[in-house]
Structures are given as structure tokens and as C-alpha cells.
Structure 1
Amino acid sequence: MELCVCERFPSDRELVFQARVLCREFMFSRVTREGLSWCRVGAEPPDPPAELTPAALVLLKLGDELEKLQPRLYRNVAKQLNITVALEALVSDAFLSVATEILSLGITWGKVVAIFAVAGGLAVDCVRQEHPAVVYTIEDSLGEFVRKSLVPWLRMRGGW
């Protein structure tokens, strides 16, 4: 009798997709917490997620804790980076640079949460400064960062 353990691990593509969904949920929570909303030009604001995944709930809770420990670090992120949120490429480059720097000495779950907290802070800045479409650029940038820098690490840990 042969025993087959058929555990299915998420594919690279699924890990990136999940990261983008988590990012969207995280940014949505941060923007709405500030009493703001955003949408693509000509579109309705996104609906709140019907039901948050367990990973999203943990990420949001850890993000709250991190932001309580360093409240000024995750507010006015664009100003701290000395960038204008009107330029999507500039926001993307700055976000990717910060994310790369955060992981420069190794990857931990805490550092991954910090990257999401930066994304959330930037999203709030974009909406406040009337450039809500740039929020989607942040989501795209985080997805690309995960694809290039986090997928093997996530796979070794069974995913999100």
C-alpha cells in the first residue's frame, strides 16, 4: 500500500495574486480608517472585502501593532520620502526602493508587515492628495516586489 500525501502548495502566480489581494485589503483598511475612499476614474469606490481571509486579519492586526509602535513612521510617507504622489513612476520606484531596503538584511514576517504598512501609508497620502488612481500603482508594485523578492521565501513557509 502506497501512501500519497497530496498537499498542494500555492503556485508562484497564486502567491503574487494573494499578495495583491492582501495589499488591496490592507490599503482599503488604512484609507477608510482615515475617513477617505478611492476609486479608479469613472468607477465606483471598491466595496469592502466581503470576508477577510485569515491571513488578511493577521496582517491587519500586526500592521496595527507596528503602527502603534512607530506611529510617525507610517504616516506622511510621501513627505518622508520627499516625493510627489502625482507621478506613478516616482511612487512605484520609491516604494520598491523602501521595500528593498527593509529586506536588505534578511526577510522576516515583521519586515513583510512593515512593507504593507508603507503601502498603506502611501495609499492614504495618494487619496489625501487627490491622486487615488496611484493606489493601484502601489498594489502593482507590491505584487511585482513579491514576485521578484518574496516568492521563494513564502513558498518555503507554505504561503501566506
Structure 2
Amino acid sequence: MDVLRRSTVFAAEVLDVFDRSLTEKELVSQSKALCRDFILSRLNQNGLGWSKTEINFSPSNATLADVSMVLLCLGDELECIQPNLYRNVARQLNISVAMENMVSDAFIGVATEIFSTGITWGKVVSMYAVAGALAVDCVRHGHPTTIHILVDSMGQFVRKFLVQWLKRRGGWAEITKCVVKKDLLPEQPWVSSVVESFKYFLTTMYVYVMKEQ
């Protein structure tokens, strides 16, 4: 009986620590840090030569650094399969990057459509790919400050729609299960999620373009 009581107390303590480590504020902050890292990677890939200092990137802990690496790897895979989908996104949406509110609204609208039928890690990566592509468009057209609007919009969306989902999965670390070993090769569930993400993202593109006509 005493052993059972001690086990129960230990389990409660573990759960308490677990709950404290998954607060809404922390998950949103992590989501924004991952967004900054993803955007930085896309800017540098496109020869725009930005540094972590320029986008106020905050160094993350080791676990979040691993998550960022996986997120970037899956983003690369996603964009490699459908390169045109994640290029010139602002033009595809027919929006002006000079208008920060329009960029923010467009991002939130696309993200909402992507997750309209449920949440998967594939769709999460797709959302980050959209943010990265929009950031590239903004910098190329002389509006780098819009990057901070995109990061804040990511945080707002995660707070409103994804926090509880992330909590149920123990946080961002679960995305590392989307890869196999250290070579970061996508597993089959990830591929399925990617295909699903394409369908809803393409639908959103059509909706936004038609709305502007």
C-alpha cells in the first residue's frame, strides 16, 4: 500500500512538471522562434544574406534546435516536391507585400484553410513554408520589417488553433518522429501529410486570387 502511495505521488509530481513545461506562453514563444529560424534559412537560401541579429533571433535550447533542424529538413523536402507552390506566394495570392495588414491577413487565411479539416505535422510544415516564402517576397520587394509581422502572426495562429494540439503531443519534440535515424529521410506518414497539405493549400490559393478579382 505504501509503495502504491509513493508511486501515485511520484506520478503526480511527474505530471505536474510535464504540465508546467507545456504552457501556452512557452509553446507560442517556441513557435515564433522556429518561425524566425525557418525564415532566416529561406532568406539565406535565396541569397538575401540576413543574420540572426537582423531578425532578432533568440538562441534556442538544444531540444528546440533539433526541432528546428527537422522542421527545416521537412520544409526542404516539401518545397523540393512542389517547388512552384512555395515561390512567389504573394503574387499567387495577389497581395501587396507593402501592406503589412494584408500580408498578415493572407497568412492567417492560408493557415486557416490548410488546417480546415484537421491538424497534421505535414500541414504544420506547410504553414511554416508559407511563412518562409512570404518573408522572401517581402525582403525582395524592400519590406523587411514585415518579417516581424509574419512571426507575430504565426504566434497568434498557434495560440488560437494549435496550442492544445501541441500540448497533447508533448510539444514540438514529437515532430522529430517524422524522420528516420540521422539522415532525416521522411517516413511514409509524412509523405501522406504533404500530399494532403498540397490539396488544401492549392484550394486556398484559388480562393484568395478569386477574392481579389
TM-score (norm 2): 0.69
Shift of 1:111: 0.2
Matches within 5 A, 1:53-72: 53-72=65-84
Aligned residues, how many? 156
Shift of 1:48: 7.1
**1:119 and 2:131 matched:** yes
Q: Is the 8 A contact 1:38 1:132 kept in 2?
A: no
Partner in structure 1 of residue 30 of structure 2: 18
| Residue identity in the other structure for 2:109 | S
**1:74 and 2:86 matched:** yes
Distance 1:143 1:46 in 2: 15
| Residue identity in the other structure for 2:168 | M
Q: Is the 8 A contact 2:24 2:163 kept in 1?
A: yes
- Identity rate of aligned residues, in percent? 54
TM-score (norm 1): 0.91
Partner in structure 2 of residue 31 of structure 1: 43
Structure 1 unaligned blocks of 5 or more: none
**1:91 and 2:103 matched:** yes
| Residue identity in the other structure for 1:136 | H
Q: Is the 8 A contact 1:24 1:139 kept in 2?
A: yes
Higher helix share: 2
Distance 2:141 2:154 in 1: 21
**Runs in 1 of length 4+ with deviation above 2 angstroms?**
44-52
Q: Is the 8 A contact 1:25 1:49 kept in 2?
A: no
The CA RMSD over aligned residues, in Å, is: 1.8
Q: In 2 relative to 1, CA 13–48 (structure 1 residues): closer, same or farther, beyond 3 Å?
A: closer
Distance 1:59 1:85 in 2: 25
Of residues 117-126 and 45-54 in structure 1, the stretch that sits farther from structure 2 once superposed is: 45-54
Relative contact order, higher structure (CA 8 A, sep 6+):
1
| Residue identity in the other structure for 2:97 | V
| Residue identity in the other structure for 1:69 | I
Of residues 28-37 and 112-121 in structure 1, the stretch that sits farther from structure 2 once superposed is: 28-37
Structure 2 unaligned blocks of 5 or more: 173-213
**1:139 and 2:148 matched:** no
